[in-house]
Amino acid sequence: MNRVLISGGSRGIGAALVRAFAKNGDAVAFLYRENDTAANAVASETGAAAIRCDVSCPDAVRVAVKKAETALGGAVTVLVNNAGVSHIGLSRDLSDAEWRRVIDTNLSGAFYLCREAQGAMIAAKNGRIINIGSMWGKTGASCEVAYSASKAGLRGLTMALAKELGPSGITVNCVEPGLIDTEMNAALDADTREALIEETPLCRIGSPSDVAAAVLFFASDAASFITGQILGVDGGFAV
Ligand code: NAP
């Protein structure tokens, strides 16, 4: 049985991850920023522990990892860095605060969690870290400069940590979703959404469970010799 910590588990892809790991028989704790109602619903449905924590705050992350260890009955063995925010707009209009919000959540938050969780994994000589990137981190998205930069940063973080932590028995991989049906895309207008689907070779929007399946694979015994890899779950969009 894994002890799994997932950031951003209250909604969307993260909630699907909580459900999938819980169904797998793993002990699961998840972090969320502010949506108590959604977090409590996922927790009561799955039996997972919900912990309120803004991942962009390193002190809050330290406390949250300790709380997760208590809730899980031991150190985290699988960490999934999924919490993320997006911002759409011209780069010339992007404020310092918006730039920092996106980078601090998507990239720094993942780093803070990796830093806190790795000590126990190194001691156990066993661990799995899975980062949720985005196809925009590979291709870049117009009018999403901070988001694309944060997700490209996760590629570097994944590969560097895979090399650093491999000798300690820890694998580090990244899943890059394409267009997935969650609230994150609620701001997309119908034409943009249709255009993205048309550009997707598999001709559909993805579901959170499509992403969960890839994450569960990286956490499984079948993936024990795979590290530093970046797997697109995007219907072929970024090929
Ligand atoms: P979502 O539906 O908007 O859910 C975001 C989740 O992240 C929520 O649980 C939210 O908590 C949490 N969160 C946001 N900021 C946080 C913070 N500072 N600290 C802790 N938790 C925070 O997003 P999603 O579509 O499921 O996306 C999940 C991940 O997949 C993100 O990293 C996103 O970039 C990536 N992704 C998504 C798509 C897509 O098309 N949906 C495509 C590629 C990549 P609250 O509920 O409390 O707000």
User: What digits encode the pLDDT tens for the residues 27-78?
Assistant: 999 999 999 999 999 999 999 999 999 999 999 999 999 999 999 999 999 9
> 181 CA distance to ligand 1 centroid (A)?
12
Beta carbon of 22 within 6 Å of any ligand 1 atom: no
Kindly tell me the sign of the dihedral angle through the C-alpha atoms of 221, 74, 27, 52: negative
Active site residues: 147
> Which residue owns the Cα nearest ligand 1 atom 9?
8
Q: Can you give the pLDDT at residue 187?
A: 84
* Pocket probe mutation, ligand 1, options 37, 56, 150, 184, max atoms within 8 Å of Cβ: 184
On whether residue 82 sits in a domain, the answer given is yes
On whether residue 85 sits in a domain, the answer given is yes
Give the whole-angstrom CA distance, residue 180 versus residue 206.
Answer: 4
Percentage with pLDDT > 70 across the chain: 100
* Averaged pLDDT, 145-153: 98
Beta carbon of 55 within 6 Å of any ligand 1 atom: yes
Radius of gyration of the chain from its Cα atoms, rounded to whole angstroms: 17
Number of domains observed in the structure of the chain: 1
On whether residue 161 sits in a domain, the answer given is yes
* Averaged pLDDT, 227-232: 98
pTM: 0.99
On whether residue 28 sits in a domain, the answer given is yes
Q: Between vectors from CA 124 to CA 119 and to CA 125, what angle results, nearest 5°?
A: 95
In terms of C-beta density within 10 A (0-12 exposed, 13-18 middle, 19 or more buried), how is residue 9 classed?
Answer: buried
- Nearest atom in ligand 1 to the alpha carbon of residue 208 is 26
Give the whole-angstrom CA distance, residue 60 versus residue 182.
Answer: 26
On whether residue 129 sits in a domain, the answer given is yes
Beta carbon of 177 within 6 Å of any ligand 1 atom: yes
Beta carbon of 77 within 6 Å of any ligand 1 atom: no
The domain that contains 51 carries what CATH number? 3.40.50.720
Q: Is the pLDDT of residue 181 over 90?
A: yes
Q: What is the pLDDT of residues 79-107, one digit of tens each?
A: 999 999 999 999 999 999 999 999 999 99
Instruction: Find the distance separating the first CA and the last CA of the chain, reported in whole Å.
Output: 35
> 84 CA distance to ligand 1 centroid (A)?
4
Domain range for 67 is 3-232
